[in-house]
Amino acid sequence: MRKTPDITRSKSRRKAAGPAAVRVPSPGEGKRGEEGYLGYLLRQAHAAVRLTMERTLADLGVTSPQFAVLTMLKAYPGLSGADVARLTFLTPQTVGVIIRNLERDGAIEMTPHPVHGRIQQWTLTPRGTTLLRACRERVIALEKRLADSLDARAEASIRRWLAGIAADLQEDQARP
């Protein structure tokens, strides 16, 4: 049976008879503003911060996930790749790639675990510490911009609220 031209014609060629295009609201409008779900607003804010951070760190050759890994290794030297993945909300595979790249660039180094020889522990090198310092200066400027309209008390309250959400929801995940 041969197909008729109507059957084989792409749907995009047909004229769309319907309403005009809907205008997508800007951040801060409608459901992207105070009417929106908290989870959505948190994700929207995270996406905006991450994009700004990527642009801020780009000329240093550092991505925001790499910055997160460097930050955690500075705060907690000797972490395993699995520990870094949990702390940075990245997959173990992604952390593996980041660690290989940072090691190749001389920013971190591996030391074997003193008891469990198969576990690799990671620490910053002097080069990694210098790189993180340069990144941190830029990220601090971004954080100041984020908190610009807040007084110290409001900022502390928001930090407690955000940390509390993570702790509460983490507890929910641990329950059977």
| Domains located in the chain, CATH noted | 38-174 (1.10.10.10)
pLDDT at residue 7 greater than cutoff 60: no
pLDDT at residue 12 greater than cutoff 60: no
Question: pLDDT (tens digit, 9 = 90+) per residue, 47-72?
Answer: 999 999 999 999 999 999 999 999 99
By CB neighbour count within 10 A (0-12 exposed, 13-18 middle, 19+ buried), where does 3 fall?
A: exposed
- pLDDT computed for residue 175 by the predictor: 64
Question: pLDDT (tens digit, 9 = 90+) per residue, 22-47?
Answer: 888 888 888 889 999 999 999 999 99
What is the distance between the alpha carbons of residues 79 and 120, in angstroms, rounded to a whole number? Answer: 8
Could you tell me the two tokens for 23?
A: 């205008």
Buried residues in 111-149 as b, exposed as e (16+ CB within 10 A): eeeeeeeeebbbbbeeebeebbeebeebbeeeeeeeeee
What is the distance between the alpha carbons of residues 42 and 100, in angstroms, rounded to a whole number? Answer: 31
By CB neighbour count within 10 A (0-12 exposed, 13-18 middle, 19+ buried), where does 40 fall?
A: exposed
In this prediction, residue 20 has a pLDDT band, given cuts at 50, 70 and 90, of: confident
What is the distance between the alpha carbons of residues 8 and 2, in angstroms, rounded to a whole number? Answer: 10
Cβ pair 45, 37 in contact under 8 A: no
Could you tell me the two tokens for 68?
A: 């997160």
Cβ pair 134, 119 in contact under 8 A: no
